[in-house]
Chains A and B, each alone.
Chain A
């Protein structure tokens, strides 16, 4: 079943390109380390989900590109066309001449209604070219104006028009020390609106991805392109084909549906984080070998200690023994806080994947008390290696990973709000202080809900 991707804003479009490129390159990679038949099935599954056929045989991404400025869209389109391997469709993009000024209200209340029909028509055209629609990816950033405000608007319209289709928002969490002054306002407004109209929010933190680039990939001058590639790699490692539950002769038809059913059925818990292992530069990759035991041990500790990457993991953090408080340093530092999970999904790709032992993830101590590990944990596998990594593992987690960052953003936004800083820029486009208060209330509730997961 197919997924239609809506790329919104500068961030969304740049990342969207890298995602499709990563998916395509991987599906045509010759180092799949699996049988020819397996490889062909993998390729076909990836193609059907993310691409469609055109007359000249070049696969076309199932995507709609939207931005309020023409520059990034044009760059994206030309990059895709130049590659010669895959392309965006003709007439799948929509742009205007003016931006959104990093103003959420401008994106939501002005651009949204004004361009609603054109954008929804584009999406409708793309949907009609799918034999079967599983759902939508909406790639957007939280901090700017177009991605955030227009993204929230478009997601709401998708909910109205395609109520039975699934929607996952890929949200770029800005740097803590970001450049946009009102990024916290934009963020809380985005998150609160998406919480109501989207099914799942898959969060990609710029800080985390940046660290991966610096420490693991050894990139000296980190550009947005590097960040985007790491992000695309993470997304690909989750959504590339995996074997279906019944047999390893067929690939899973609806990964988006399966993921959502297992991770976000509860309406209060929709925030997902993604981690994957190993991450390294291509140069180092040639000299490294991995064992499943080692990878899974690290991944588990990354989960428990809320680590952003596989380096600098805090091994002190342990699951709490029943009845006792979590072991760790006695200080109240949140770094030693044990991350209680609601539900986890582990995706394993590579050689000898059937010998991988995931028992460590089925420990009830990892999970909240009211959900059994048999319901809370699921694992997807394929022997086919991903992106030249002989073995790789990804984790999509619905847990307390994002409580701290969310709490920080809400706190900062609240500080600004209480002194009414910059509010007029929002209210002059039809927003009211009520909307801000509603957003704060909803997000506080989300923080409290996630907090209550722990013992």
Chain B
């Protein structure tokens, strides 16, 4: 009897402990009580969960600027972020921004995010305590942060003001680059001067955090505290992993308490394009025109193709062609392989980049693991070349568009800005 009771008690304790572990490893995790209240759709749970979702969804929230937003703005951002991640339940969107309704839906959303991907790992990676010097973030983030809240301008905006603001942005950008260059130079100096100081021979020199720790014991204390709190979170994450089954079983019950959703709703896009009255008729006529064009194209191209084949068909078969053909095929293969290689390198899977510590070593010393700077530079140069090509293509498109517009209004003289 006692054993059964203690087993029941143990089972009863399992859920709160699981939830407690979860909230300990989430950033700004709420108390387990909030989770329980959310199941019953209590209003006091809603604001806390909005904030939590905001913190979880936006990678830039680390500096706490988002939490200063008004509740309406927070709700708006969370909704759009969830939408961009593909969240299927549209019930959440129906609640007005800033209301305290919908805490159960928020709980479901959180669970969806947790179940869907390595969310906890990503969050923990974001707030890692770094002892070494890091490479600056050089991978484009796979998912952009939530879009900035759209503010309707009160009156027409003067173009000159827009140009002014663009100019400010450009100056800030240039100052940022200068600051980064400064950071590189100073980092290099520290690495050079502390050569031989590190206890680990393979590293050889100190990082900035380590130097700071030696210089100022106070910052050493702070680093220690940060490491300790990170440890707590990591332990909580491990505990969560052990206990999470109970949580998912509980979440099933939460889902059951919701009213069933109509299946059509989940597949509907949130915004329907407006189709005008005569729109359908227009679509038909466009379709017909397209078909007619395709016919025409086929009629014109077939005789041309036949003629070309007749001219060229004889060529390319003889023995003198086989070498050049082989060379061509090899060249094409190489290009394809290069393209595929760059595609694979550039496409980042969902997991976070493994962070690398920046280490300066003497030339010729063998480095068994880690990336070489030269290799990284090569990758980055290849990326830069790719992006430049895309930029030029877009610029050409813009120029063509401008030329087309200039030609469309014959009475107007267009003075284009001077070439840079």
Contacts and interface: CB of A to CB of B under 8 A. Distances in A.
A166 B167 CA distance: 13
A297 B418 CA distance: 42
B178 A371 contact: no
Contact of A165 (B160, B172, B178): B178
A266 B167 CA distance: 6
A267 B181 contact: no
A129 B178 CA distance: 15
A164 B177 contact: yes
A261 interface: yes
Given A166-B174, A265-B171, A131 B185 contact: yes
B100 to A, nearest CB: 35
Interface string B167-197: 1101110110111011001100100000000
Contacts of A165: 174, 178
A384 B158 CA distance: 40
A448 to B, nearest CB: 12
B114 interface: no
B163 A1 contact: no
B156 to A, nearest CB: 11
A196 interface: yes
Contact of A132 (B160, B167, B174, B181): B181
Contact of A265 (B164, B178, B182, B186): B164
Nearest to A368: B160
B161 interface: yes
Contact of B186 (A131, A262, A371): A131
Nearest to A128: B185
Give the dominant DSSP class at B's interface: helix
B109 to A, nearest CB: 38
B164 A371 contact: yes
Given A261-B168, A261-B171, A370 B160 contact: yes
A203 interface: no
A264 B166 CA distance: 11
A164 B178 CA distance: 7
A267 B163 CA distance: 8
A257 B170 CA distance: 11
A122 to B, nearest CB: 20
Interface residues of B, number: 23
Given A131-B185, A164-B174, A166-B174, A264 B167 contact: yes
Contacts of A1: 178, 182
Contacts of A369: 158
A398 to B, nearest CB: 11
Nearest to A254: B175
B161 A132 contact: no
A371 B160 CA distance: 9
A110 interface: no
A266 B169 CA distance: 11
A143 B392 CA distance: 40
A1 B175 CA distance: 10
B185 to A, nearest CB: 5
Given A133-B181, A370-B160, A257 B175 contact: yes
A265 B170 contact: yes
A370 B161 contact: yes
A266 B418 contact: no
B165 A265 contact: yes
Contacts of B186: 131-132
Given A257-B175, A370-B158, A370-B161, A265 B168 contact: yes
Contacts of B163: 265-268
A93 interface: no
B417 to A, nearest CB: 9
A265 B167 contact: yes
A133 B161 CA distance: 29
Contacts of A135: 178
B153 to A, nearest CB: 13
Q: Which of A1, A133, A164 has the most CB of B within 10 A?
A: A164
A268 B166 CA distance: 13
Interface in A99-141: 131-135
A128 to B, nearest CB: 10
B136 to A, nearest CB: 15
Nearest to B159: A370
Nearest to B161: A370
A1 B182 CA distance: 9
Interface of A: 1, 131-135, 164-166, 196, 254, 257, 260-262, 264-268, 369-371, 375
Across the A-B interface, give the 6 residue pairs with the lowest CB-CB distance, nearest first: A265-B167, A132-B182, A370-B158, A164-B177, A261-B171, A257-B175
17 contacts: A131-B182, A131-B189, A132-B179, A132-B182, A133-B182, A165-B178, A166-B175, A196-B418, A261-B168, A261-B171, A261-B175, A265-B163, A265-B166, A266-B160, A266-B167, A267-B163, A370-B158
Given A164-B177, A257-B175, A265-B163, 12 more contacts: A131-B185, A132-B181, A132-B186, A133-B178, A166-B171, A166-B174, A254-B175, A261-B172, A264-B167, A265-B168, A371-B164, A375-B164
